[in-house]
Structure 1
Amino acid sequence: MPEQAQNGLDVKDMKLYAQANSILADLAALGFPGDAALSVEDLARFDQLHYHGVESVQAGIDLLGINAAAEVLEVGAGWGGPSRFIASRTGARVVALELQEDFHTTGQTLTQRCGLDIFVNHQRGDFLSIEYGQAAFDHVVSWLALYHIPNRATYTRKICDLLKPGGTLFVEDLMAGTAFADTDADVLGRELFANSMVSEAHYIDSLRVAGFEIIQAENMTADWRTFTTTRLEMFDANRQAFIGIHGPELFEARRHFYSKIVEYFTADAIGGMRVAARKP
């Protein structure tokens, strides 16, 4: 999947993904300029683009039983926050696959500054076309990324093929809400770079069809609605400090995205889910 999908959507239309190097300014403001060494804890408040940060990543570690012997693939790694956390907590080897060049490059730099580059291998590529071979991983994980990828049946089957027998999958993802059909699909697609958003039932069924056994499936919609509403309120309250570091342009871009997410959750246009599954 190129950064511009076949339907004309561009990942950079999603304003959360503006200025991938903004995290470096956040770190500098905290006293970590340039190439200063970092810890995973230093990064945690900035490098987790999903909901509930490292708490969610720890839930994935616990559900899948990730340990030091594991080979893990993160699909849609962004800056690589979850990959670094998994590696630091478990000693597992993690491939952090990211489509966007700027997030990939920045994430690679952050991993080096944490001294975790022997555990985390950043790769830039399209999940639909990159080749790893059959049964290459013990675990595949992804946070708020799979719905960006077109051809759900194809990529779900590919995930299953990449796993060793008994391997497991942990996903947190957006899905179509109960009022999805009442929403302007073109606008939502552009705002969220949504290329394969489906209902909860369809999502679970697509995993089973691909060959997975469901370990756990949890509807996260109410939780994420509350989380995103609180996030927007806190972002607005921190307006001056944010602009002081990043300027007004990024503030407006970030606020646009945060407010759109709240709008879509409030209208039940979108929902959220957490799924753990196993390849027999």
Structure 2
Amino acid sequence: MNPVATWRRLLAEFAGTALLVTAVVGSGIMATQLSPGNVGLQLLENSTATAFALGALILTFGPVSGAHFNPVVSAADWWLGRRHGTGLTAGDLAGYTVAQILGAISGSILANAMFDLAPVSISTTTRSGAHLWLGEVVATTGLLLLIFSLVRSGRASVAPAAVGAYIGAAYWFTSSTSFANPAVTIGRMFSDTFAGIAPASVPAYVGAQVVGLLVGLGLIAALYPHAGIAADAVVVPHANSDPAAEPARSSA
């Protein structure tokens, strides 16, 4: 179990998710300013900034909370670890989810404010259609498979680079540009900019992400049946992140 105080972990999830959405929305705004009329270049700029920011944020907050930044990842961690006494508890899951959603909303507000826009501007960008929902299922499933395969095989230390790379790539190979995160989806609703999503489109996106969660859990159970044993290492190992929990070292 994570030895770090609960309030510190929740703060890390709030701040990390907020900064992630700030990076997503802020880079989208900057992209439209730097490359007006060129949607392909805008997406390249947006995806590159997001991938690098995500990797950096996992490195920053991973030792405290695991750097989930995503209710789907947290839910999978709880579900797979519950039989082994590892990973998040049900109470942790509820706290992480609330912190992530509030952080995502705050991130959009911060990005809007940094670019001298109205702090809250509800998006009018409609993202609807079965092909987009399928894209979200694929993106979410792939994200979970990546994370839990790294954890189960003892390679969680490379998660910052691997997860950042996956999300950056999934911007391009999924029709939905890979939201793959209910909290981020909700947060992006609060910015009427390049990265925004209209409120009416949010429920279907979140529903597709939940389907991706279920598909991902099924595949993880089939491919890595003992993944729950290592649930404490999702996304980044943090068992010894609290100095008070570490044994004293001799100065000799």
TM-score, scaled to structure 1: 0.28
Q: Which has the higher contact order (CA 8 A, sep 6+)?
A: 2
Between Structure 1 and Structure 2, which shows a larger proportion of helix residues?
2
Between Structure 1 and Structure 2, which shows a larger proportion of strand residues?
1
